[in-house]
C-alpha cells in the first residue's frame, strides 16, 4: 500500500490523499481552505479509479468539482453529503468571486460532477476491482462517514470524527483495523464536558436576555446552527435564525435516515423565527437570540447585526466554535475589534467563547487509536500532531507523521 497526501497532512485544511492498493488508485477527499487567499491541495497529476468523500465541509470537499470534471472520476459519499455540498460549493464560488480570488471551477463543473455520483451509506460497501471499501458513521456532522479499505489488511481513513453523542448525530467508535489514518485536529487540546458547555451557554443567554440585551450567536450553518437550535429549544426565548443554516435545516429534515432527532428539529424550527426579509431583520434586533452565519464573523448576516448592536454592552456575542487565525472571530477574542473593508471597528459588547466542537478532543483521539488496535497509525489533518504521537507512542505500534507530496510506502 502506498499513501500520498496532496494536502492537509501537516495542517487542518485542504485535505486530499491518494491511496494505492493492488494497482488501484483511490482518492480520499479533495478539499480547499477558505482562507484569504484560499489554499488548495497539490494538483492531481494522474487519473484515479474512484474518489471517496467523508463529509461536506469545504476542507474536505471544496475542490471536488475541479478534479472530477477534469478526470471524470466516479465518487462516493452519503446522499445527505451529496446534497449539502451543492450549497457549500456554490457559496464558496460566491465568496471567492466577491473577494476577487480566481475561480478554480464553475457552477457547470458542479453539475457535471453530479453525474459521477454513487451513493453509499453507513454500513454499506462499494467494491472497486475486488477491493472492498466500507462506509462507517464518523459521528462528526450528519452524513459524515469513515472508510474502511479491506484488502487482506484493513485500512481505515477517518476523515473528521467525533466520539460523543450530540443532538444531530451519535458519536462513532473505533473499528478494529491494521492501519489507521486518523485526523488530529484537536491533538493536544481537550474539550470541556459537553453538558458543562451547554449549561454555561444557556446560563449566559439567560444573563444577557435578563439584563435587556440581545445575544448574537454566530454559528456555522452546517450542523452547529441546528445543534444550537435543539439546545435552545424550550428555553422560552425568541430565537431568530438567519443565514445558510436555514437552507441546510430543510435539507436535514428531508434526510431523517442520516440525521438524529429530525422530529425534534422540525419542532425547534417551527418555533424559531426564520428571517426572510429586512423587516424581520429589524425585528430580530429587539431580541432575544439571533442565530446566524458566519461562525467566524467573516461575512454573512452576522456582520449586519453586530454593526447595529455593537455599542451597547448589554448585548453579547457568544462564539460557538473554534476561531481560526486571521478571522474576525479570532480578532474579536484577542483585541475586541473586527475589521470591515479595511476599517477597524471597536465592538463594545460582551464576548464569550463556547466550545461546541464537532471533533474528538485529544483524549478521545487517544482512546480511538487504542481501541482500533492498529499496528500502524498515520496522523493527518492536524497542526500539532507531535503531541498526539507522544501520547500513543508506547512501542506497541508504528506511528507515522506524513507530509504533503512525499509518498509513504507501507
For the bound state, the minimum distance from the C-beta of residue 15 to Zn ion, rounded and expressed in Å, comes to: 6
User: Is the Cβ of residue 160 or residue 242 nearer to Zn ion in the bound state?
Assistant: 160
Q: Grid cell 429589524 — which residue? A: 282
The stretch among 59-67, 255-263, 291-299, 321-329 that binds Zn ion (CB under 5 A) is 59-67
Task: Provide the minimum distance between the beta carbon of 225 and Zn ion in the complex, in angstroms, as a whole number.
Answer: 15
Polymer length of the chain: 410
Nearest-approach distance from CB 396 to Zn ion, in angstroms: 28
| Cβ-contact 187, 384 below 8 angstroms | yes
HSE (side-chain half, CA atoms, 13 Å) at 59? 16
Can you tell me which of 3, 5, 26, 57 binds Zn ion, judged by CB under 5 A?
57
The least distance separating Zn ion from the CB of residue 61, rounded to whole angstroms, comes to: 9
Check residue 25 for interaction with Zn ion (CB under 5 A). Answer: no
Residue count at the site for Zn ion (CB under 5 A)? 3
- Residues 1, 153: contact at Cβ < 8 Å? yes
To which residue does cell 469545504 refer? 58
The dihedrals phi and psi of 83, each to the nearest 5 degrees, come to -80, -40
Which residue lies nearer to Zn ion by CB, 160 or 350? Answer: 160
CB of 330 to Zn ion, least distance (A): 18
Closest contact distance (angstroms) between CB of 59 and Zn ion is: 4
Question: What is the nearest approach in angstroms of Zn ion to the Cβ of residue 95?
Answer: 18
Q: Which stretch binds Zn ion (CB under 5 A): 54-62, 117-125, 251-259, 331-339?
A: 54-62
Give me the residue label for grid cell 483511490.
Answer: 26
Distance between CA atoms of 36 and 171, rounded to whole angstroms? 33
Least separation in angstroms between residue 138's CB and Zn ion is 9
Q: Whole-number minimum distance, CB 359 to Zn ion, in Å?
A: 7
Nearer to Zn ion (CB atom), residue 59 or residue 91: 59
- φ, ψ of residue 380 to 5 degrees: the values are -135, 175
Window 320-359: contact mask with Zn ion (x via CB under 5 A)? ----------------------------------------
Q: For residues 59 and 109, which CB has a smaller minimum distance to Zn ion in the complex?
A: 59
Cα distances from 307 to residues 28, 29, 347, in angstroms, run: 41, 37, 8
* Residue 86 or 345 having the CB closest to Zn ion: 86
Question: By C-beta, is 171 or 200 nearer to Zn ion?
Answer: 171
Contact call for residue 59 and Zn ion (CB under 5 A): yes
- Where do we find the cell 462507517? 136
Sites for Zn ion among residues 74-103 (CB under 5 A): none
Pick 59 or 350: Cβ nearer Zn ion:
59
Q: Which of positions 138-177 make contact with Zn ion (CB under 5 A)?
A: 160
Residue 150 or 160 with smaller CB distance to Zn ion: 160
| 219, 234, 245 from 228: Cα distances, Å | 8, 12, 11
Minimum CB distance to Zn ion, residue 163 (Å): 14
Residue 11 interacts with Zn ion (CB under 5 A): yes or no? no
**Preceding peptide of 294 cis, ω within 30°:** yes
Among the listed ranges 20-28, 56-64, 276-284, 339-347, the one in contact with Zn ion (CB under 5 A) is 56-64
Cell readout for 166 is 450530540
Q: Alpha carbon 247 to chain centroid distance?
A: 16
- Which of 34/213 has CB closer to Zn ion? 34
Residue with smaller CB distance to Zn ion, 306 or 388: 388
Binding positions for Zn ion, rule: CB under 5 A: 57, 59, 160
Amino acid at each position: 500500500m502506498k499513501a500520498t497526501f496532496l494536502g492537509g497532512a501537516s495542517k487542518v485544511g485542504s485535505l486530499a490523499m491518494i491511496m494505492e492498493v493492488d494497482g488501484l488508485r483511490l482518492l480520499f477527499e479533495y478539499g480547499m481552505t477558505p482562507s484569504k487567499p484560499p489554499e488548495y491541495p497539490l494538483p492531481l497529476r494522474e487519473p484515479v479509479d474512484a474518489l471517496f468523500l467523508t463529509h461536506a465541509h469545504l476542507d474536505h470537499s471544496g475542490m471536488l468539482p475541479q478534479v472530477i470534471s477534469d478526470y471524470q472520476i466516479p465518487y462516493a459519499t452519503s446522499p445527505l453529503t451529496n446534497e449539502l455540498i451543492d450549497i457549500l460549493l456554490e457559496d464558496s464560488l460566491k465568496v471567492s468571486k466577491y473577494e476577487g480570488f480566481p475561480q478554480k471551477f464553475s457552477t457547470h463543473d458542479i453539475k457535471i460532477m453530479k453525474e459521477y455520483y454513487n451513493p453509499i451509506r453507513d454500513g454499506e460497501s462499494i467494491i472497486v476491482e475486488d477491493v472492498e471499501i466500507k462506509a462507517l458513521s464518523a459521528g462528526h456532522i450528519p452524513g459524515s462517514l469513515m472508510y474502511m479499505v479491506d484488502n487482506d489488511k484493513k485500512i481505515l481513513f477517518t476523515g473528521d470524527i467525533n466520539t460523543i453523542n450530540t443532538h444531530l448525530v451519535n458519536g462513532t467508535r473505533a473499528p478494529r483495523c491494521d492501519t489507521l489514518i486518523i485526523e488530529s485536529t484537536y491533538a493536544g487540546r481537550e474539550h470541556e464536558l459537553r453538558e458543562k458547555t451547554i449549561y454555561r451557554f444557556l446560563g449566559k443567554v439567560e444573563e444577557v436576555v435578563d439584563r435587556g440585551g440581545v445575544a448574537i450567536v454566530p454559528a456555522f450553518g452546517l450542523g452547529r446552527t441546528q445543534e444550537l437550535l435543539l439546545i435552545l429549544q424550550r428555553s422560552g426565548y425568541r430565537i431568530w435564525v438567519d443565514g445558510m443554516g436555514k437552507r441546510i435545516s430543510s435539507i436535514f429534515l428531508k434526510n431523517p435516515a442520516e440525521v438524529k432527532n429530525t422530529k425534534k428539529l422540525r419542532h425547534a424550527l417551527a418555533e424559531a423565527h426564520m428571517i426572510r426579509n429586512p423587516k424581520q431583520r429589524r425585528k430580530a434586533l429587539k431580541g432575544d437570540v439571533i442565530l446566524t452565519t458566519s461562525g467566524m464573523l467573516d461575512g454573512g448576516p452576522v456582520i449586519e447585526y453586530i454593526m447595529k448592536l455593537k455599542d451597547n454592552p448589554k448585548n453579547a456575542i457568544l462564539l460557538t466554535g473554534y476561531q481560526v487565525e486571521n478571522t474576525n472571530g479570532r480578532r474579536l477574542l484577542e483585541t475586541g475589534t473586527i475589521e470591515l473593508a479595511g476599517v477597524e471597528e471597536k465592538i463594545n459588547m460582551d464576548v464569550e467563547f463556547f466550545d461546541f466542537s464537532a471533533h474528538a478532543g485529544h483524549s478521545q483521539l487517544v482512546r480511538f487509536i487504542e481501541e482500533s488496535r492498529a499496528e500502524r497509525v498515520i496522523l493527518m489533518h492536524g497542526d500539532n500532531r507531535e503531541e498526539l504521537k507522544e501520547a500513543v507512542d508506547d512501542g506497541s505500534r508504528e506511528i507515522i507523521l506524513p507530509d504533503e507530496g512525499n509518498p509513504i510506502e507501507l
